């Protein structure tokens, strides 16, 4: 049985923050879950995926976040408790349905999990999605530890039903990926059969209907503000004349800081678990109770500005500061040391930060930039494309996925990326705006996510470039989740597999090449043919991700390769042009680590001396 199905109230379990959210949803009787995976949220849907194999919980990996939001909306207005999960940039994709779903509201608890990524550990930006709560008018809850990740999730369903609005839970990477003890509660039964009561004058958002609904949203917002006053995860901790306001993981840093600095008896901490909407009376009361206030919040000065407005409206002159105190800035995630320094500086506590451990006498570690794995088929495809485009003045837009790592030398095949699907659409722009050749790269999951619309645009508007779809049969970067184009039979599912090639042809592309990238000669021929085609051409480079293949028992059977030192002329084309991480220099000799090599044979094809052979 999946551990999150343990039906034993009072049991204490060590859970990852993301697991705690999934458990909270189960305790709340969630019946319907959708997502598009994205770090730092990916472990949440992973739990639902596995739980759905054992229960009647409906779960799907949707093609993108907008679709996930819309599928979930259908279930939530039909009366099922529903959860939808995504990372922060995913909410940009889902913003369109989000904004109008706030108008229609829902008929059963709907919780939207949004995982922000301060410090951009695995993201293309570090936007602060607290603005989405303010933009959409939806309540936002922010847990501060793993126990609260569960409890707040349960509460979010209740709040959603009380307000008839979706509720957003915002987490950050630090919370999503810490482990902590969690006391389990009982599981509510799941209501699995929904029914949609038709009401076109509420749910069909033509202008006349939406004018009325906007007013309804504001009424619900007022009700939410009232409820924020007694929200159980808003809390004033301690007593004293100095005030600190914090949210999310920063609450823990503040608690530690006041304790470490010995000022716990002088500080009142306002921990805000509901960061939108704010109850102005509750906050004004807090501001009146202290002489000065420090706001500790990662990223943007959202609460700081709100507090200043509330103070001004209430004639409260207490100083309020946040950004710019010590090292508190709008950049990156905070840590305990910087919060301790800021608290000490702001309240005039004599404190000298412990100097960091002196490691200056240690030899510098070699840089380990992220790299495509040994035997990654993307490396072979990039090599083939480079053979054709190497000396041509060309632009190579890429996309979000493992293949973004093609950025690094010696591959150096990434010139532009802004978001999922952008390689295709920006390729249209580059091809039309410049005289340079354009070759774009996108993965299979990303193609289904949002590459298709760009491709249709390319065909319809007669943009001329080559799109390479790197089809490795899975959503590799986030942990091998399924997508519509994968063969799910090895995983025990009989989901229909949607052919990338059929979709590409269906979009109207006439010049389509399907290649196996480990066959370099044929792949290079296909790239050359596409290069010469006067129009939009697509190369589908199909080879399963070797790590995924291993996880489903489909790993290559071939032997690892080795360098015949007799034949090797040591000019290092293999290293300088391909650089598979299984290859290394032993003194002056090129060698292959047989434990890393998957036997793809690409290096053997690159070596002009035929010096690389399968190990006997």
User: Closest CB to ligand SF4 among 224 and 582?
Assistant: 582
CB of 610 to ligand SF4, least distance (A): 8
Stretch that binds ligand SF4, among 299-307, 419-427, 475-483, 560-568 (CB under 6 A): 560-568
Interface with ligand SF4 (CB under 6 A), residue from 166, 194, 375, 485: 375
CB of 383 to ligand SF4, least distance (A): 10
User: Closest CB to ligand SF4 among 40 and 374?
Assistant: 374
In the shown chain, the binding pattern of residues 465 to 504 toward ligand SF4, with x for contact by CB under 6 A and - for none, equals ----------------------------------------
Does residue 163 belong to the site contacting ligand SF4 (CB under 6 A)? no
What does residue 454 show for φ and ψ, rounded to 5 degrees?
A: -65, -40
User: Closest CB to ligand SF4 among 81 and 379?
Assistant: 379
User: Closest CB to ligand SF4 among 217 and 602?
Assistant: 602
CB of 567 to ligand SF4, least distance (A): 7
Which DSSP letter does residue 456 get? H
Interface with ligand SF4 (CB under 6 A), residue from 137, 301, 374, 377: 374
Q: What is the DSSP string of 360-423?
A: TTSPPPPP----PPTT-HHHHHHHHHHHHHTTS-EE-B--SSGGGGGGSTTT----B--STTHH
CB of 389 to ligand SF4, least distance (A): 21
- Among 412, 424, 431, CA closest to 455: 424
CB of 482 to ligand SF4, least distance (A): 25
CB atoms within 10 A of CB 591: 15
CB of 550 to ligand SF4, least distance (A): 13
In the shown chain, the binding pattern of residues 569 to 608 toward ligand SF4, with x for contact by CB under 6 A and - for none, equals xxxxxx-----x-xx------x-x----xxxxxxx---x-
User: Closest CB to ligand SF4 among 212 and 571?
Assistant: 571
Strands 110-116 vs 167-172: parallel, antiparallel or unpaired: parallel
Interface with ligand SF4 (CB under 6 A), residue from 205, 519, 609, 613: 609
Q: For 458-495, b where at least 16 C-beta lie within 10 A, e where not — what string?
A: bbeeebbbbbbbbbbbbbbbbbbbbbbbbebeeeeeee
User: Closest CB to ligand SF4 among 467 and 597?
Assistant: 597
- What does the alpha-carbon distance between residue 541 and residue 466 come to, in Å, rounded to a whole number? 13
- What does the alpha-carbon distance between residue 397 and residue 423 come to, in Å, rounded to a whole number? 5
Contact 443, 403 (CB under 8 A): yes
Q: How many residues interact with ligand SF4 (rule CB under 6 A)? A: 27
User: Closest CB to ligand SF4 among 156 and 524?
Assistant: 524
Those residues whose C-beta lies under 8 Å from the C-beta of residue 189, and which sit 6 or more positions away, are: 29
CB of 527 to ligand SF4, least distance (A): 19
- What does the alpha-carbon distance between residue 457 and residue 342 come to, in Å, rounded to a whole number? 51
Residues in the chain: 616
Interface with ligand SF4 (CB under 6 A), residue from 117, 246, 561, 579: 561
Largest interatomic CA distance in the chain: 85
User: Closest CB to ligand SF4 among 311 and 583?
Assistant: 583
Those residues whose C-beta lies under 8 Å from the C-beta of residue 168, and which sit 6 or more positions away, are: 111, 112, 113, 114, 129, 132, 133, 136, 138, 139, 140, 141
User: Closest CB to ligand SF4 among 44 and 582?
Assistant: 582
- Collapsing DSSP to helix, strand or coil, 75 comes out as helix
User: Closest CB to ligand SF4 among 331 and 615?
Assistant: 615
Q: How many angstroms separate the Cα of 275 from the Cα of each of 8, 45, 144, 157, 502?
A: 32, 24, 12, 16, 47
CB of 604 to ligand SF4, least distance (A): 6
CB of 517 to ligand SF4, least distance (A): 11
CB of 611 to ligand SF4, least distance (A): 4
CB atoms within 10 A of CB 304: 20
Q: For 530-567, b where at least 16 C-beta lie within 10 A, e where not — what string?
A: bbebeebbbbbbbbbbbbbbeebeebbeeebbbbeeee
In the shown chain, the binding pattern of residues 517 to 556 toward ligand SF4, with x for contact by CB under 6 A and - for none, equals ----------------------------------------
Chain positions contacting ligand SF4, by CB under 6 A? 374-375, 561, 563, 568-574, 580, 582-583, 590, 592, 597-603, 607, 609, 611-612
């Amino acid at each position: 049985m999946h551990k999150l199905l343990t039906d034993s109230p009072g049991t204490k379990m060590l859970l990852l923050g993301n697991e705690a959210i999934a458990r909270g949803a189960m305790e709340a009787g969630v019946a319907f879950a959708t997502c598009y995976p994205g770090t730092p949220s990916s472990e949440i849907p992973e739990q639902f995926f596995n739980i759905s194999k054992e229960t009647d919980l409906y779960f799907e990996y949707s093609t993108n976040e907008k679709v996930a939001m819309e599928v979930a909306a259908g279930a939530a207005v039909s009366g099922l408790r529903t959860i939808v999960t995504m990372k922060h940039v995913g909410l940009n994709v889902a913003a369109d349905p989000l904004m109008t779903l706030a108008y229609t509201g829902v008929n059963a608890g709907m919780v939207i999990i949004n995982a922000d990524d301060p410090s951009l550990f695995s993201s293309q930006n570090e936007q602060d999605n607290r603005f989405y709560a303010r933009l959409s008018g939806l309540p936002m809850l922010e847990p501060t530890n793993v126990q609260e990740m569960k409890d707040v999730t349960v509460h979010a369903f209740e709040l959603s039903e009380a307000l008839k609005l979706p509720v957003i839970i915002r987490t950050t990477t630090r919370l999503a990926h810490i482990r902590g003890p969690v006391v389990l509660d009982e599981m509510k039964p799941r209501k699995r059969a929904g029914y949609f009561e038709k009401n076109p004058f509420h749910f069909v958002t033509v202008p006349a209907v939406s004018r009325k609904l906007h007013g309804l949203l504001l009424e619900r917002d007022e009700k939410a503000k009232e409820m924020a006053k007694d929200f159980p995860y808003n809390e004033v901790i301690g007593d004293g004349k100095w005030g600190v306001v914090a949210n999310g993981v920063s609450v823990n840093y503040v608690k530690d800081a006041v304790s470490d600095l010995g000022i716990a008896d002088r500080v009142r901490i306002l921990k805000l678990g509901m960061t939108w909407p704010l109850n102005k009376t509750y906050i004004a009361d807090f501001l009146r109770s202290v002489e000065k206030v420090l706001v500790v919040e990662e990223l943007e000065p959202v609460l700081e500005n709100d507090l200043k407005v509330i103070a001004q409206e209430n004639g409260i002159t207490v100083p309020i500061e946040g950004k710019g105190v010590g090292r508190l800035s709008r950049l990156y995630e905070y840590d305990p040391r910087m919060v301790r320094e800021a608290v000490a500086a702001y309240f005039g506590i004599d404190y000298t930060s412990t100097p960091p451990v002196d490691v200056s006498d240690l030899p510098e570690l070699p840089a380990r930039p992220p790299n495509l794995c040994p035997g990654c088929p993307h490396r072979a495809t990039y090599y083939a494309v480079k053979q054709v485009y190497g000396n041509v003045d060309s632009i190579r837009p890429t996309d979000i996925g493992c293949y973004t790592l093609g950025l690094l030398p010696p591959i150096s095949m990434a010139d532009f990326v802004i978001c999922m699907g952008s390689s295709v659409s920006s390729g249209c722009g580059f091809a039309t705006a410049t005289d340079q050749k354009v070759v774009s790269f996108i993965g299979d999951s990303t193609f289904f996510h949002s590459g298709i619309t760009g491709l249709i645009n390319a065909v319809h508007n007669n943009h001329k470039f080559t799109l390479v779809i790197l089809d490795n049969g899975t959503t590799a970067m986030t942990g091998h989740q399924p997508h519509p184009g994968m063969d799910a039979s090895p995983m025990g599912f009989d989901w229909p597999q949607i052919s990338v090639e059929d979709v590409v042809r269906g979009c109207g592309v006439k010049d389509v090449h399907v290649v196996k990238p480990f066959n370099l000669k044929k792949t290079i021929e296909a790239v050359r043919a596409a290069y010469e085609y006067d129009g939009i051409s697509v190369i589908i480079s199909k080879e399963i991700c070797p790590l995924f293949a291993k996880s489903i028992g489909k790993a290559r059977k071939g032997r690892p390769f080795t360098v015949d030192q007799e034949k090797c002329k040591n000019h290092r084309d293999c290293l300088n042009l391909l650089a598979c991480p299984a290859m290394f220099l032993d003194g002056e000799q090129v060698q292959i680590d047989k434990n890393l090599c998957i036997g793809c044979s690409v290096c053997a094809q690159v070596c002009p001396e035929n010096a690389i052979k399968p190990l006997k």
